């Protein structure tokens, strides 16, 4: 019998988590709270009941962004990981922190009052060449020394020999 | 007198910064490093001279994400703030951390090889949850502890928790 296990974590790998059921309501939120917490234009989120969210390495740090809401992140690298309305039967994770974000396509958008006026123009910005084509040397340099945790669970992290 | 001063910071307000020159580049990056660092699927950023960047409150914490660069964030609330490549006279900052992000319209996109297949569909998604039409008691219950979108003389202001 196959068991659902969808994994993710922060950039440095100090915090890893698993979702034990298929997350629902994948969405993006444009509200100014999500913008600032993510340092971005919007937050892509999907959620599960709290009992289906397990931290499998390290621990979340939290910031109480308002009385009802706690946001979880990694204190070692900053990656925004969770948002939880205290007492609710749901915890959301950031889609970008999932090991396979492409599989979790957003289906709704929230916080439209905060949406930046030019949001819809982003996909058509110039930039058709890949970075591998435009900057092969820099691409290789990053790939050769990437300190980001890989997009799967690891038994030990960081591996011996990798500088902090 | 600088007409182009930009200010910004993290969600909780422990880290605040100021920029004294107009951005040189305004772009979005789809690479997997930016995705994971920000928990998102794209990183909107702008580039300025390091000489024009100053911290006005607190200090950035850093993670060395590769041998060539540091990423700065707030260790008190997690907000991802900067990308700082070694040896460069410029650094990149997240547009969303600016107090007024709207005027910085991205003009380029990078790492399209890592772009989510559904990136272009997001703007057309059904809209839900109009946060600005909540009843007054719900607005009060959700009173934010987020730093306001301008500099403050003292923070937290006494009313904020945390």
Closest partner residue to A64 among B129, B141, B145, by Cβ?
B145
**Which is more confidently placed, B77 or A3?**
B77
Taking the C-alpha atoms of residue B6 and residue A22, their distance in angstroms, rounded to an integer, is 42
**Cα→Cα distances A83→A6, A95, B139, Å:** 17, 12, 18
Residue A65 has pLDDT above 90, yes or no: yes
Q: What is the pLDDT of residue A128?
A: 67
Contact of B43 with A46, CB cutoff 8 Å = no
The pLDDT, as a whole number, for residue A21 is 97
**For residue A108, is it within any domain?**
yes
- Its CATH architecture, for the domain B6-117, is Beta Complex (2.170)
Domain count along chain A: 1
**Does the bond joining A158 to the residue before it have cis omega, within 30 degrees of 0?**
yes
Residue with tokens 């934010």: B144
pLDDT on residue B2 = 45
CATH number of the domain bearing residue A74 = 2.170.150.70
Considering only the beta carbons, identify the residue of A96, A116, A130 that sits closest to B41: A96
Residues of chain B with pLDDT under 70: 1-4, 129-133, 158-162
The whole-angstrom separation of Cα B49 and Cα B56 is 16
CB-closest option in A36, A113, A129 to B131: A113
The SS3 assignment for B51 reads helix
The confidence score (pLDDT) of residue A164 equals 45
- In this structure, is residue A26 part of a structural domain? yes
Please tell me the least confidently modeled range out of A68-77, A90-99, B140-149. Answer: B140-149
The predicted pLDDT at position A110 comes to: 93
Residue numbers in B near A66 (CB within 8 A): 142-146
Which domain, by its residues, includes A101?
6-116
- State the number of CA atoms in the 13 A half-sphere of B116 facing the CB: 23
Best mutation target, A12, A24, A36, to test chain B (most B CBs within 10 A): A36
Would the CB atoms of B28 and A122 count as touching at under 8 Å? yes
ipTM of the complex: 0.88
Residue-wise pLDDT tens digits, B78-95: 999 999 999 999 999 999
**Per-domain residue ranges for chain B?**
6-117
């Amino acid at each position: 019998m196959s068991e659902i296990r969808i994994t993710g974590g922060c950039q440095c790998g100090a915090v890893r988590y698993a979702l034990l059921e298929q997350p629902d309501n994948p969405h993006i939120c444009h509200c100014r709270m999500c913008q600032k917490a993510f340092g971005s234009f919007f937050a892509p989120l999907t959620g599960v009941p709290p009992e289906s969210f397990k931290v499998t390495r390290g621990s979340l740090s939290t910031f109480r962004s308002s009385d009802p809401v706690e946001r979880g992140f990694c204190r070692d690298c900053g990656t925004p990981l969770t948002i939880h309305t205290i007492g609710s039967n749901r915890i959301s994770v950031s889609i970008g922190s999932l090991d396979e974000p492409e599989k979790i396509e957003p289906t709704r958008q929230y916080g439209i009052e905060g949406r930046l006026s030019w949001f819809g123009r982003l996909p058509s910005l110039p930039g058709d060449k890949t970075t591998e084509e435009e900057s092969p040397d820099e691409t290789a340099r990053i790939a050769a020394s990437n300190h980001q945790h890989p997009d799967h669970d690891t038994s030990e992290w960081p591996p011996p020999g990798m500088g902090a | 007198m600088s007409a182009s001063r930009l200010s910004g910071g993290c969600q909780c307000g422990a880290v605040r910064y100021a920029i004294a020159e107009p951005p040189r580049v305004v772009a979005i990056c789809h690479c997997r490093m930016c995705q994971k660092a920000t928990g998102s699927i794209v990183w909107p950023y702008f580039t300025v001279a390091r000489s024009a960047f100053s911290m006005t409150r607190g200090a950035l914490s850093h993670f060395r994400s590769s041998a060539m660069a540091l990423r700065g964030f707030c260790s008190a609330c997690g907000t991802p703030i900067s990308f700082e490549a070694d040896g460069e006279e410029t650094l990149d900052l997240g547009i969303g951390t600016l107090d007024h992000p709207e005027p910085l319209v991205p003009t380029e996109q990078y790492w399209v090889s890592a772009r989510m297949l559904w990136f272009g569909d997001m703007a057309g998604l059904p809209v839900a949850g109009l946060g600005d039409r909540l009843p007054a008691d719900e607005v009060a219950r959700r009173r934010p502890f987020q730093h306001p979108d301008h500099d403050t003389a003292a923070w937290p202001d006494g009313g904020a928790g945390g």
